[in-house]
């Protein structure tokens, strides 16, 4: 489908000839020549947004004043929060967020039919690629059968979802599905889908060149920023609106410049660099801002490392972490199999339009910070947040301090040593370095023999996630660590669940070409699948005897993963401490099996002759790694593995589906159900009303993530979601996960605020999704919400700082809406979740004047009324809120309404952005 460009009243459309092809393009220098302002000092990331304004300038959604605002931004030192309408070139999805998005589109077709419209109007106007990468679980590991057995179980569990997605592929235009077993969406995007500069026909049949831009229904869409593609994560709601031609309403962002100097030293990795970057930027505070990396140090940062840094933008809180186009961009595009015409266009376009990074590149930034990469040290992050950076040589002591903090106050009296007498008796207890009596112990009797487990036993070591498996330097490094360990006779500890889940098949190709896969296999890092696995909580069950030991003795089990997220309750229900580390360190920690061991000073184990083996004995040099990367990571491997990327294996080809415009919702399905959002909807929007007499559903703390609000992992039969499935005769082993069930609103609303580690401050230290119901008794949040709905009582949520951090999951907002929550009041919001709440008609509010949930002394039995919403509400207005306490006393505070733009106000009036779009399409039908 051709792109529809504006009418170019400013005369910035020019012609660029590359080889034998002529491209129309929208010239930033021409805009300057036309007197629209000086754009020469804009960061490259903002020039991409400016080009978008030039291309879509129509005098209505985009005006000449919007273009001039970018010159004012530079003149005002990197600030001009003007509202603009931005249109990305394409949309990227994964299946956990993609299934509910396609469910919404199917429901919108039904809704449009009900309004008398044509269902064909519900079709993506921009290209959409959905990569199935979130569904494979690690049921089998540590043996050659693991990959095939996990794939077989994936299809058994998810056939209803895959049938639905295949229907969507045939029913919707501009919608492609990358089948299971191909790779992780961000890595497939980086290695194959992205082009850095795109070209397409416009409505007049001319070929137009423009920057490759996208939004994705996954927060780590920012990975592709490493290849100078401007992209970021949005909720599925916002992505659906973008698909259907609705521009993304945003404020011109501030841009923080991050200057990189020097180069990495021997023994450090890209993971160490990005963990340091995350720490520094979290301390800086970049929520809602662009971060652009610059400085001569970029000459020493390969694109794979840039992608690792870009990937973790959500972890440092930024909208994106952008790298300008330079020679390294071209080298990577060539290596990964892009054609020479694309390469020529990228170079010519970037240089012509001022987007090429020349030596000394230093535009105007809102603010800056700097890092000498020579000061970066080996590190991990954890045990609960990506920004909790720990130098590797301090990791063991930090873990002991964490255990002490967890244990103090929970266990009165001396710590008993717990023995479990198995066959032959339990082994003698081992000394735990730094143990001050805070560690607990238990014993396991398994096929491999009896062994002790204690606080700090590493039970999961997983090479996983696009963050690091996209980077051949750290993957080859992990393979070399495995090779050297194998040669010395080291192996993983028997209680460690090891796994290797690459982000694309190319990784397997070069590990096999380097003959490193057999070394990884030898110590338990067999291929388990191509997908996100452990990083999104699909770590699969631990061995029953290990899980029992952890839960019977209240042990603090540990996971070490090469992922990007380690939030509470995310990785495994049996694991309380989670650490992010480079793939080589994941291998090292699997060998030692204990977080209490200082692996920088103490031995990892003994070789065949009984000699101590240290980390330095198995750590490869940068030269060793570079030599193998050069030899085995080839252009031909990328071209071969992506030749039939949409075809899939025999299992995918065998998935049968119907050919119809609207979906025939199977009533018995527990995976895909028609959601209630559009049922009974009329043509006219409502109005924003004051919130009167609302009760508090939950009072939550700081850094409440979207994992806390809408968990992705497994759940038990005693939960509201589990009970729902049991009532429908679904056996527990077939529950799958919340993430896989996102096409069924009945499961998902029951899972909202149901993370096993979430703590509602209305209750005293109780973990899990609980609150006080209308009768004042403790009950599940779902049951309480339904009781309040019966009484027609509105609900509010209170939170702390950075509310909604983490994944861009729309269900964190959808579930909040379906529970009857009208407002969320917090100290601050993360960008995507705030937008998602608005997109679902839930109003976000921020405290002002130093007020917090704590300063107000909230207990949960108060009544809340928010006025000033009806009538002439303006974006970011300050409105009064009256809190009535249980004793009848009242207090009025002022709240900032975080409806940030005029169009967002319209979304809320309509009940959500999809309702807005649906009514709009019905009017022109």
Long-range contacts of 645-648, Cβ-Cβ distance < 8 Å, separation of 24 or more? 645/178, 645/182, 645/188, 645/192, 646/176, 646/177, 646/178, 646/179, 647/179, 648/179, 648/180, 648/181, 648/182
Residues 333-346 have pLDDT tens digits of: 999 999 999 999 99
* Sheet of 367-372, strand order: 320-322, 290-294, 255-261, 367-372
- What per-residue confidence (pLDDT) applies to 2? 76
Domains 386-405+435-620 and 691-710+752-923 share a fold: no
Residues 494-519 have pLDDT tens digits of: 999 999 999 999 999 999 999 999 99
SS3 329: helix
- What per-residue confidence (pLDDT) applies to 422? 32
CA distance 454 to 681: 57
- What per-residue confidence (pLDDT) applies to 417? 29
- What per-residue confidence (pLDDT) applies to 425? 40
Q: What is the mean pLDDT of residues 138-145?
A: 92
- What per-residue confidence (pLDDT) applies to 235? 80
CB 894 within 8 A of CB 868: no
CA distance 198 to 26: 13
* 48-57, 430-439, 458-467, 736-745: range with highest mean pLDDT: 48-57
CA distance 237 to 773: 30
Which residue in 587, 719, 741, 589 sits closest to 673, CA to CA?
A: 741
Structure-block tokens of residue 408: 């103090």
CB 523 within 8 A of CB 424: no
Which residue in 339, 332, 356, 324 sits closest to 21, CA to CA?
A: 339
CA distance 462 to 501: 8
Q: Which positions ≥6 away from 629 have C-beta within 8 Å?
A: 472, 473, 476, 510
Which residue in 796, 804, 793, 912 sits closest to 856, CA to CA?
A: 796
pLDDT at position 432 over 70: no
CATH value of 691-710+752-923 in 3.30.70.330, 3.30.70.360, 3.40.50.620, 3.20.19.10: 3.20.19.10
Residue identified by tokens 């995507």 is 832
pLDDT at position 434 over 60: no
Task: Give the chain's radius of gyration (CA, Å).
Answer: 27
- What per-residue confidence (pLDDT) applies to 438? 67
Give the number of other CB atoms < 10 A from CB of residue 5: 21
Give the number of other CB atoms < 10 A from CB of residue 405: 11
Sign of CA dihedral 78, 82, 88, 93: positive
Which residue in 827, 822, 833, 786 sits closest to 908, CA to CA?
A: 822
CA distance 591 to 788: 52
SS3 405: helix
What CATH superfamily is the domain 386-405+435-620?
Aconitase, domain 3 (3.30.499.10)
Q: What percent of the chain has pLDDT over 90?
A: 77
CB 881 within 8 A of CB 892: yes
Strand ranges (DSSP E) for 341-404? Answer: 367-372, 379-381, 389-391
- What per-residue confidence (pLDDT) applies to 419? 28
pLDDT at position 435 over 70: no
Residues 843-874 have pLDDT tens digits of: 999 999 999 999 999 999 999 999 999 988 99
CA distance 183 to 283: 33
φ, ψ of residue 83 to 5 degrees: the values are -75, 130
Which residue in 815, 681, 642, 830 sits closest to 738, CA to CA?
A: 815
- What per-residue confidence (pLDDT) applies to 892? 97
Strand 248-251 and strand 83-86: the pairing is antiparallel
- What per-residue confidence (pLDDT) applies to 420? 29
- What per-residue confidence (pLDDT) applies to 810? 87
Structure-block tokens of residue 796: 């509010």
- Least confidently predicted of 538-542, 789-793, 800-804: 538-542
Within 13 Å of residue 450, how many CA atoms lie on the same side as its CB?
13
Eight-class DSSP state of 415: P
pLDDT at position 924 over 80: no
CA distance 590 to 583: 11
Instruction: Write the DSSP string, 40-103.
Output: TTS-HHHHHHHHHHHHH--SSSS-HHHHHHHHHHHHTTS----EEEE--SEEEEEHHHHHHHHH
CB 630 within 8 A of CB 513: no
Q: H/E element holding 106?
A: helix 95-114
pLDDT band, very low/low/confident/very high, at 1 (cuts 50, 70, 90):
low
CA angle, residues 566, 550, 598, in degrees to nearest 5? 60
SS3 446: strand
Return the domain boundaries, the chain.
13-86, 386-405+435-620, 691-710+752-923, 711-751
pLDDT band, very low/low/confident/very high, at 207 (cuts 50, 70, 90):
very high
Which residue in 316, 323, 293 sits closest to 225, CA to CA?
A: 323
Kindly provide the b/e burial profile for residues 558-576, where b requires at least 16 CB atoms within 10 angstroms of the residue's own CB: bbbbbbbbbbbbbbbbbbb
Q: What is the mean pLDDT of residues 100-121?
A: 90
CA distance 721 to 717: 8
Eight-class DSSP state of 437: S
Residue identified by tokens 């096929």 is 447
Structure-block tokens of residue 331: 């080298």
CA distance 575 to 318: 28
Residues 674-725 have pLDDT tens digits of: 999 888 888 999 999 999 999 999 999 999 999 999 998 889 999 999 999 9
Which residue in 222, 289, 224, 211 sits closest to 252, CA to CA?
A: 289
pLDDT at position 436 over 60: no
Which residue in 192, 210, 214, 191 sits closest to 127, CA to CA?
A: 214
CA distance 587 to 488: 14
- What per-residue confidence (pLDDT) applies to 448? 67
Within 13 Å of residue 353, how many CA atoms lie on the same side as its CB?
33
Q: What is the mean pLDDT of residues 620-634?
A: 96
Task: Calculate the alpha carbon distances from 847 to 79, 436, 585, 700, 807 in Å.
Answer: 24, 42, 42, 14, 24
pLDDT band, very low/low/confident/very high, at 423 (cuts 50, 70, 90):
very low
- What per-residue confidence (pLDDT) applies to 413? 31
φ, ψ of residue 544 to 5 degrees: the values are -55, -40
* Orientation of helix 146-171 relative to helix 95-114, angle to 10°: 20
Record the pTM. 0.86
Task: Calculate the alpha carbon distances from 276 to 379, 380, 580, 782 in Å.
Answer: 8, 9, 12, 39
pLDDT band, very low/low/confident/very high, at 424 (cuts 50, 70, 90):
very low
Cis before 383? omega within 30: yes
Residue identified by tokens 């008609």 is 841
pLDDT at position 427 over 80: no
pLDDT at position 426 over 70: no
pLDDT at position 416 over 50: no
pLDDT band, very low/low/confident/very high, at 900 (cuts 50, 70, 90):
very high
Give the number of other CB atoms < 10 A from CB of residue 680: 7
Which residue in 349, 313, 144 sits closest to 222, CA to CA?
A: 313
- What per-residue confidence (pLDDT) applies to 713? 83
């Amino acid at each position: 489908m051709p792109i529809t460009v504006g009418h170019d009243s400013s005369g910035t459309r020019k012609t660029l000839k590359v080889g034998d092809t002529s491209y129309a393009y929208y010239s930033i220098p021409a805009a300057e020549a036309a007197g629209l302002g000086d754009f020469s000092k804009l960061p490259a990331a903002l020039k991409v947004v400016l080009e978008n304004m030039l291309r879509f300038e129509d005098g209505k959604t985009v005006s000449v004043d919007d273009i001039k605002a970018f010159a004012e931004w530079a003149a005002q030192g990197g600030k001009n929060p003007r509202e603009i309408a931005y249109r990305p070139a394409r949309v990227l999805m994964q299946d956990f967020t993609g299934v509910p998005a396609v469910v919404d589109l199917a429901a919108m077709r039904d809704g449009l039919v009900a309004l008398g419209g044509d269902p064909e109007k519900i079709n993506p106007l921009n290209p959409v690629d959905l990569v199935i990468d979130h569904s494979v679980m690690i049921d089998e590991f540590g043996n050659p059968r693991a990959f095939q057995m996990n794939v077989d179980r994936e299809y058994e569990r998810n056939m209803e979802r895959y049938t639905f997605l295949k229907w969507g592929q045939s029913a919707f235009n501009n919608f492609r599905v990358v089948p299971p077993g191909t790779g992780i969406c961000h890595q497939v995007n980086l290695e194959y889908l992205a082009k850095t500069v795109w070209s397409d026909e416009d409505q007049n049949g001319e070929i137009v060149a423009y920057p490759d831009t996208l939004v994705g229904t996954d927060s780590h869409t920012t990975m592709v920023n490493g290849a100078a593609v401007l992209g970021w994560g949005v909720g599925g709601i916002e992505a659906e609106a973008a698909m259907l031609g609705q521009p993304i309403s945003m404020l011109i962002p501030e841009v923080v410049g991050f200057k990189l100097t020097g180069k990495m030293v021997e023994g450090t990795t890209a993971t160490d660099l990005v963990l340091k970057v995350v720490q520094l930027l979290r301390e800086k505070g970049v929520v809602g801002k662009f971060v652009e990396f610059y400085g001569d140090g970029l000459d020493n940062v390969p694109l794979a490392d840039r992608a690792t840094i870009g990937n973790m933008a959500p972890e440092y809180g930024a909208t994106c972490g952008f790298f300008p186009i330079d020679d390294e961009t071209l080298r990577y595009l060539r290596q990964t199999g892009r054609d020479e015409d694309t390469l020529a266009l990228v170079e010519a376009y970037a240089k012509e339009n001022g987007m090429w990074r020349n030596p000394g590149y230093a535009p105007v930034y809102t603010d800056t910070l700097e890092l000498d990469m020579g000061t970066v040290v080996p590190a991990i992050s954890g045990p609960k947040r990506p920004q909790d950076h720990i130098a590797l040589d301090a990791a063991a002591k930090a873990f002991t301090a964490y255990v002490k903090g967890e244990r103090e106050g929970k266990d009165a009296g001396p710590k008993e040593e717990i023995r479990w007498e198995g066959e032959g008796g339990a082994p003698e207890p081992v000394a735990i370095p730094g143990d001050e009596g805070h560690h607990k112990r238990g014993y396991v009797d398994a096929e491999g023999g009896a062994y002790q487990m204690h606080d700090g036993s590493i039970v999961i070591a997983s090479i996983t996630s696009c963050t690091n498996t996209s980077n051949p330097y750290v993957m080859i490094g992990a393979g070399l660590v495995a090779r050297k360990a194998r040669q010395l006779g080291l192996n993983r500890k028997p209680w460690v669940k090891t796994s290797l889940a690459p982000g694309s098949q190319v990784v397997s190709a070069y590990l096999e070409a380097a003959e490193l896969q057999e070394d990884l296999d030898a110590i338990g890092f067999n291929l388990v699948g191509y997908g996100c696995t452990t990083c999104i909580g699909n770590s699969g069950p631990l061995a029953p005897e290990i899980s029992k030991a952890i839960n019977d003795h209240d042990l603090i089990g540990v996971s070490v993963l090469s992922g990007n997220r380690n939030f509470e309750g995310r990785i495994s229900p049996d694991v309380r401490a989670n650490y992010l580390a480079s793939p080589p360190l994941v291998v090292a920690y699997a060998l030692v099996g204990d977080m209490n061991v200082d692996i920088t000073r103490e031995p990892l184990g003994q070789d065949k002759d009984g000699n101590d083996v240290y980390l330095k004995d198995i750590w490869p040099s940068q030269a060793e790694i570079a030599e193998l990367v050069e030899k085995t990571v080839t252009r031909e491997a990328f071209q071969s593995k992506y030749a039939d990327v949409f075809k899939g294996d025999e299992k995918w080809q065998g998935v049968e589906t119907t050919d119809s415009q609207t979906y025939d919702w199977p009533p018995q399905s527990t995976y895909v159900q028609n959601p209630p959002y559009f049922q009974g909807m009329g043509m006219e929007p409502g109005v924003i009303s004051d919130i009167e007499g609302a009760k508090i559903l939950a009072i939550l703390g700081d850094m409440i993530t979207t994992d806390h609000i809408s968990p992705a992992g497994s759940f038990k039969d005693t939960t509201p979601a589990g009970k729902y499935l049991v009532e429908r005769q679904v056996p527990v082993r077939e529950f799958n996960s919340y993430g896989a069930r996102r096409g069924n609103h009945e499961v998902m609303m029951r899972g909202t605020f149901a993370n096993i580690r979430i703590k509602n401050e209305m209750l005293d230290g109780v973990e899990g999704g609980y609150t006080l119901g209308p009768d004042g008794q403790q009950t599940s949040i779902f049951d309480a919400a339904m009781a309040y709905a019966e009484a027609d009582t509105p609900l509010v949520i209170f939170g702390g700082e950075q509310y909604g951090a983490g994944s861009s999951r729309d269900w964190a907002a959808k579930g909040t809406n379906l529970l009857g929550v009208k407002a969320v009041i917090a100290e601050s919001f993360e960008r995507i979740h705030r937008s998602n709440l608005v997109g679902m008609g839930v109003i976000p509010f921020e405290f002002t004047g130093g007020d917090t949930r704590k300063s107000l002394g909230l207990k949960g039995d108060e009544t809340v009324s928010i006025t000033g919403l009806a009538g002439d509400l303006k974006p970011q207005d300050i409105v009064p809120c009256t809190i009535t306490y249980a004793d009848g006393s009242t207090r009025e505070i002022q709240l900032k309404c975080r409806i940030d733009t005029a169009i967002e106000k319209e979304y809320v009036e309509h009940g959500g952005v999809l309702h807005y779009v649906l009514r709009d399409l019905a009017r022109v039908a």
